[in-house]
């Protein structure tokens, strides 16, 4: 690509921090400020990678790393707690140019699970590693680990106590808030990438894993269509292969990005009873961020350099 073409090539990035039941007034001013600040820091970090000529893969990792360190979100530090009061994290990443992908599930102690997912993609012959095996792999390649207490916040501990105090806690299948984090990006070479990271579901048991580390369900990227990162009730996103479906409708049904994302999020998922949303970007730099809940933490910087940070449905 010539320098003039490179200068004109569109770049863009979008991130999310979860979707669910959230209305104005539910957050304190301090909480909202902290959330918007973290979203701003993450989107700026990812966009800086792109403006410096970096890859979409580097951009989504840079953005997700910041969200994994922010205790306001359910990923990395601040992840929700399992039935036993521990943290089990999932993450995945996909390269739209090659369709290479990597994922980890039910991991503990890894400061940035998204880095572990990328290492599975680049440094192993596999797509997904789980639990102790994924942890051992992360150790062999020198990823950073933290003690268990580093991940646990008092907010998450209280959240678990409240859930377990309910009579239906043992059979709870859903939550009002799905605070997965994720990023999608288009770089100056025209390559797409998607990344997703989560602590899963509060009070989860038996090694439950949702859609976030599953390629095609919570994460998908294909230069021929789009890149998608999802957040929502994972069981529904798995059953309906949401991220792949959005890309497939663009490739095979001729829909544009907005039409395809809306058809799946506000059509397929709503009909099935699944709550959540997605962020998506296509090869032209168009961005879509639909959700069927009352709010979704989200931010974007589009091909024109316009920055958006939003929480509520009417933002």
State yes or no: is 180 an active-site residue: yes
Max Cα–Cα distance, the chain, nearest Å: 64
Distance CA 293, CA 307 (A): 22
Q: Is 85 exposed, middle or buried (0-12, 13-18, 19+ CB in 10 A)?
A: middle
Determine phi and psi for 70, rounding to 5 degrees. Answer: -85, 120
- Which residue is catalytic, options 21, 33, 86, 180? 180
Supply the residues annotated as catalytic.
180
């Amino acid at each position: 690509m010539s320098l003039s073409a490179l200068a004109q090539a569109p770049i863009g990035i979008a991130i999310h921090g979860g979707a669910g039941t959230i209305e104005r007034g539910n957050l304190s001013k301090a909480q909202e400020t902290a959330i918007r600040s973290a979203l701003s820091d993450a989107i700026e970090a990812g966009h800086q990678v792109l403006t410096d000529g970096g890859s979409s893969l580097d951009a989504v990792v840079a953005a997700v790393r910041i969200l994994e360190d922010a205790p306001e979100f359910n990923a990395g530090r601040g992840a929700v707690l399992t039935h036993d009061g521990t943290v089990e994290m999932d993450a995945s990443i996909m390269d739209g140019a090659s369709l290479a992908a990597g994922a980890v599930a039910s991991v503990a102690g890894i400061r940035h699970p998204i880095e572990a997912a990328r290492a599975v993609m680049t440094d192993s012959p596999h797509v997904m590693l789980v639990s102790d095996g994924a942890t051992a792999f992360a150790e062999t390649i020198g990823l950073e680990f933290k003690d268990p207490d580093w991940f646990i916040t008092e907010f998450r501990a209280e959240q678990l106590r409240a859930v377990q105090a309910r009579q239906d806690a043992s059979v709870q299948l859903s939550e009002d808030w799905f605070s997965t984090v994720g990023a999608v990006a288009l770089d100056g070479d025209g390559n797409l990438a998607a990344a997703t990271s989560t602590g899963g579901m509060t009070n989860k048991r038996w090694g439950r894993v949702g859609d976030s580390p599953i390629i095609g369900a919570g994460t998908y990227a294909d230069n021929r269509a789009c890149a998608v990162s999802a957040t929502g009730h994972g069981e529904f996103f798995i059953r309906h292969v949401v991220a792949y479906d959005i890309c497939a409708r663009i490739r095979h049904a001729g829909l544009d990005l907005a039409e395809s994302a809306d058809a799946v999020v506000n059509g397929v998922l709503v009909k099935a009873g699944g709550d959540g949303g997605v962020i998506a970007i296509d090869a032209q730099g168009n961005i879509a961020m639909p959700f069927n809940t009352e709010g979704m933490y989200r931010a974007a910087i589009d091909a024109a350099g316009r920055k958006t940070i939003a929480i509520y449905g009417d933002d």
